Amino acid sequence: GQNIDQPTEMTATEGAIVQINCTYQTSGFNGLFWYQQHAGEAPTFLSYNVLDGLEEKGRFSSFLSRSKGYSYLLLKELQMKDSASYLCAVSGAGSYQLTFGKGTKLSVIP
């Protein structure tokens, strides 16, 4: 099975940097996804990590350590529109299936 942990809520200031952590214990691992979800909407893809290291994409970066079962999503130059839930999801070996964490609700304040 899969067990995925991430903080429930975080608050950060506009213009700042925030790091959202995710730890996982899995019976099989193919990769880790981060999604952004605004209230009442479907998740939108942010990033995918399968190899150890940092993947940078504009203001968002994602890091993975497979040996530690750990990932983080880094958001820079925070904007008010970044207020959303951020979901960490793990893909099992050889499968499309995703197991989602409970999500981290990020509130960006002025």
Partner 1 sequence: GAVVSQHPSRVICKSGTSVKIECRSLDFQATTMFWYRQFPKKSLMLMATSNEGSKATYEQGVEKDKFLINHASLTLSTLTVTSAHPEDSSFYICSAGTRGTGLYNEQFFGPGTRLTVL
- Chain residues binding partner 1 by CB under 8 A are 30-31, 40-45, 48, 50, 87, 91, 95-103, 105
Q: How many Å apart are CA 89 and CA 24, to the nearest integer?
A: 9
CA 93 from centre of chain: 19
What 3-state class would DSSP assign to 88?
strand
Of 17 and 50, nearer to partner 1 (C-beta) is 50
Q: How far is the CB of 12 from partner 1 (least distance, A)?
A: 19
Q: Shortest Cβ distance from residue 82 to partner 1 (Å)?
A: 19
Task: Give the residue with the Cβ less far from partner 1, 76 or 105.
Answer: 105
Q: C-alpha 70: how far from its chain's center?
A: 11
Helix count and strand count (H, E) for the chain? 0, 11
Residue number, 37 or 76, with CB nearest to partner 1: 37
